[in-house]
Amino acid sequence: MFEGPDVLIETDRLLLRDVTEQDTQLVYQLYSLPESSRYEYWSPVDAAKTKRIVSKWIREQYQKPRPAFHIMVLLKETKSMVGICGLEIGFNPDEAGKIGNVGYRYFPDEWNKGYATEALCGVVEFSFCHLGLHKIESGCVKENRASSRVLEKSGFQLEGCRRQGFLIGNQWHDFMIYGILKKDKGYYC
């Protein structure tokens, strides 16, 4: 159904499209920032690792069924990148490709402008209306209140907490689990 680059989601202020090889430097700029990795289990990445990550994302664009969408989030007016949103589909074969998992990362200068919520709402609608997903899940460490707010404003409900279930460096953190069902927002596409 959706293969290759150029998946496009348009919101009021944003354009969302597949990552391309030409985006590698921008992805590196984002993924090399300590602030953008603060609540992740991995450290900032170097240029070589970024190239491998982007190459993997591009290969996934052509797999059938497509296992993931890694989407550049661009300002509509300037076409400048503000972040990335990712959607991985069907971790469990029993789900038959009907459950996705989303994550996102934004440049610190773009935080608190509503871009993450706006983009995530677009990805949720795309997932339910074009990919036919039943549910989308996400999560964040308890200390990452900004990410929790993005999820909640996008319609996700807190489903539980994996106590001390996420390791960052050498410290365990509670991991908050969120989900949204197609029926929660009344998507009858």
pLDDT > 90: percent of the chain: 75
pLDDT band at 65 (very low <50, low <70, confident <90, very high): confident
Name the strand (E) or helix (H) holding 37. Answer: none
pLDDT of residue 44: 75
Reduced to 3 states, what is the DSSP secondary structure of residue 16?
A: strand
22 burial (CB, 10 Å; 0-12 / 13-18 / 19+) is exposed
User: To 5 degrees, how large is the angle CA 167–CA 171–CA 175?
Assistant: 45
